[in-house]
Structure 1
Amino acid sequence: MNLAFESMNRKGFNVISGETAWTQHKAKSASAEKRAEEVNNMMVNENIQLIIPPWGGELLIEVLEYIDFENIQNKWVLGYSDISLLLLAITLKTGVATAHGTNLVDLRGEYSDDTTEMWQSVLSTKIRESILQYSSEKYQKEWQFDNPTPHIFNLTEQTCWKSIGNDNVKMQGRLLGGCIDTIRHLVGTPYGEVQKFKENYIKGDSVIWFLENCELSTTDLRRSLVQMKLSGWFDDCSGVMFGRSSANTPVADYTVEDVYKELSEELQIPILYDVDCGHVPPQITFINGAYAEVELDNGRGTVLQTFK
């Protein structure tokens, strides 16, 4: 954490740290009330324009009922993993854009790789402006915590985005998504009302979902996607992007490619996978609520986001 603070200070940021970034007991940093109070205070603090949690939180869902959604401000919250549950809840309930991308701890290096580094440019994009990002050149196959590089990650494997049918793909729509392990638990709650979000904030626009799997087997992933489908989350959907994953464990020869193929056939939409999103870095910074034009051309991807 101290290294991350030093890195942010070098970039010109004035870092303010909450207490719960330094505490941990029984799978959580503090009580749900205390964690939510810290977020609520940061949200209304005029000296804070960007909130970046150090990493995810296994029991983040506990804080939702204590978050003051009435006072959510137009300031960035950036992160991934369990943090994506809070990000999606904020955007769905309030229409305020949130940023799915790097966590603070992964900014502790001397510099960032080209893909990760785009987070600051994306978050500096103004209303009605656009920002273009490209798929990475290489990705990290496994964490080597005892062998960090100057940009933290060990990027050794050639990146190749794929699609069901091996076709080149173009899709357009509003971005929504996150870590499916966690955001699936918003289904059926007041914090996961996708249809209401569409009616209130993106009338007439379709949705592109970006999803990544941290720990689920293929059958659990399939169950989660079917639940999302039955709840209407995939209504008016123009496509789905799945991030690379070290999970997706096959069950009785049922592979993740089978899961993607079934979803594509059921929804009659394109499916991209192995994109730069989630727990196998690096990752593109996706903005919940942004209008995106996504293209796949012979294994290379581009994401053009417009803030409107």
Structure 2
Amino acid sequence: MYSRRDVLRLLAVGSVGLRLSQRQHLQRRPHALRQGMTVGIVAPASPVTPRQLRDGIAFFESLGLRVVLGRYLNSSTGYLSAPDRDRAQELTEFLLRPDIDAVICARGGYGVLRILPLLDFDVLKQCTKPVVGYSDITALLIALYQQTGLITFHGPMASSQFDSTTAGSFQATLFQFESEHPSPTEVQLTYTDERFVPVVEGTAEGALLGGNLSVFCSMLGTPFEPDTRDCILFFEDVGEEPYKVDRMLTQLALAGKLDSVRGMVLGAFTKQSPNSREADAEQTGTPIAAIAADYCQQRQIPLLANFPIGHIRSKVTLPIGVRALLDTHTRSLRILESPIEIV
């Protein structure tokens, strides 16, 4: 288990700087993680191999966490880990089990959107634990947040690689450190790096919302359509050509989803072969930023690119639903509210 000083040291030598400060808050949040708690790993989309989970399990155990594995991690129903009803049932079980303190998705792939109608979100309002994932898991994160009010986390999955940046951000966002007193004290996080690219200048404050761009767009016109009003949107994607990204941004614009947006952050847009690891992904971010700039400039939406989220080795954990401050002049994104409840 790292101390707060250890986390700050790790982030200082990683690719992203992270600063901590404290303030009061009033927002409902999931409980923090600490040593001795249990994380459950489930596959609500596509399956994984035991080897793909090995490093993630070792990382969680190194933090003093116990690990419970889902039944369908290594099974296969075509490109899905299990039939829709089975995946929905197991996910619900893990979200509600009192002996599981956080739910970490094994991987993305495909299939989350199929199970959303099978989830009872009124029942899931009982869930007060962190839920973490990205890629196809975007649909679950947004649906849980909008349907139940629970802050969710766009971050590494159990099959991810936990380098110093990924591990440090995960801990700083989700963990209760030994020095913290159980009170409504907040930890304020600021991500800043000279490699972040200011594309459309400005500052903006709003609630964080986003994830995988293609999954985000697939939710339009459904009962789980994202509400983007007064939000700072963040997007990443993999295997999408620039013209397809342009088409998706056009769809968002025509659907009115950019009209009341406060700011936008672009993560990694990568090319990736079906069997490659995150670290092998080839960046294609520059043309994507230029495409997004066209939409943002028209609406005076500040835009920051090259942010460390997506199908890449080093990634940070972003809480969906909390207020943040985007400042392109300082190349920074500051989380203004603690996403966790200190217990």
* Alpha carbons of structure 1 residues 44 and 257: separation in structure 2 relative to 1, 3 Å: closer
Q: Does 1:259 align with 2:291?
A: yes
Q: TM-score, normalised by structure 2?
A: 0.71
Q: TM-score, normalised by structure 1?
A: 0.79
d(CA) in 1 for partners of 2:87, 2:74: 12
In the other structure, the counterpart of 1:96 is 150
Give the Å deviation of 1:210: 0.5
Q: Does 1:123 align with 2:174?
A: yes
d(CA) in 1 for partners of 2:190, 2:245: 28
- Amino acid across the alignment from 2:188: I
- Amino acid across the alignment from 2:310: G
In the other structure, the counterpart of 1:294 is 326
Give the Å deviation of 1:280: 2.4
In the other structure, the counterpart of 2:266 is 242
Equivalent residue for 1:223, pick from 247, 250, 256: 247
d(CA) in 2 for partners of 1:53, 1:285: 14
Contact 2:205/2:325, CA 8 A, preserved across alignment? yes
Q: Does 1:162 align with 2:197?
A: yes
Contact 1:131/1:305, CA 8 A, preserved across alignment? yes
Aligned positions of 1:1-308 closer than 5 A: 1-72=53-124, 73-106=127-160, 112-124=163-175, 129-135=186-192, 160-165=195-200, 167=201, 169-194=202-227, 206-247=230-271, 255-297=287-329, 300-307=331-338
* Alpha carbons of structure 1 residues 128 and 190: separation in structure 2 relative to 1, 3 Å: farther
In the other structure, the counterpart of 1:139 is none
* Alpha carbons of structure 1 residues 260 and 173: separation in structure 2 relative to 1, 3 Å: same
d(CA) in 1 for partners of 2:169, 2:261: 26
* Alpha carbons of structure 1 residues 191 and 302: separation in structure 2 relative to 1, 3 Å: closer
* Alpha carbons of structure 1 residues 177 and 128: separation in structure 2 relative to 1, 3 Å: farther
Contact 1:80/1:103, CA 8 A, preserved across alignment? yes
Contact 1:181/1:213, CA 8 A, preserved across alignment? yes
What's the C-alpha RMSD, in Å, of the aligned pairs?
A: 2.5
* Alpha carbons of structure 1 residues 52 and 239: separation in structure 2 relative to 1, 3 Å: same
Give the Å deviation of 1:106: 2.0
Contact 1:43/1:71, CA 8 A, preserved across alignment? no
Contact 2:112/2:140, CA 8 A, preserved across alignment? yes
Give the Å deviation of 1:193: 4.7
How far does the alpha carbon of each residue in 1:191-244 deviate from its partner, in whole angstroms, 9 at most, with x for none? 11517xx6xxxxxxx210011121222221112112222323223211110102
Give the Å deviation of 1:95: 1.7
Q: Which runs of 5+ in 1 are unaligned?
A: 137-158, 199-205
* Alpha carbons of structure 1 residues 134 and 91: separation in structure 2 relative to 1, 3 Å: same
Give the Å deviation of 1:52: 0.4
Percent of aligned pairs sharing the same letter = 25
Give the Å deviation of 1:127: 5.5
Give the Å deviation of 1:115: 4.4
How far does the alpha carbon of each residue in 1:134-166 deviate from its partner, in whole angstroms, 9 at most, with x for none? 246xxxxxxxxxxxxxxxxxxxxxx7111225x
Contact 1:115/1:282, CA 8 A, preserved across alignment? yes
d(CA) in 2 for partners of 1:11, 1:116: 10
- Amino acid across the alignment from 1:132: L
- Amino acid across the alignment from 1:304: I
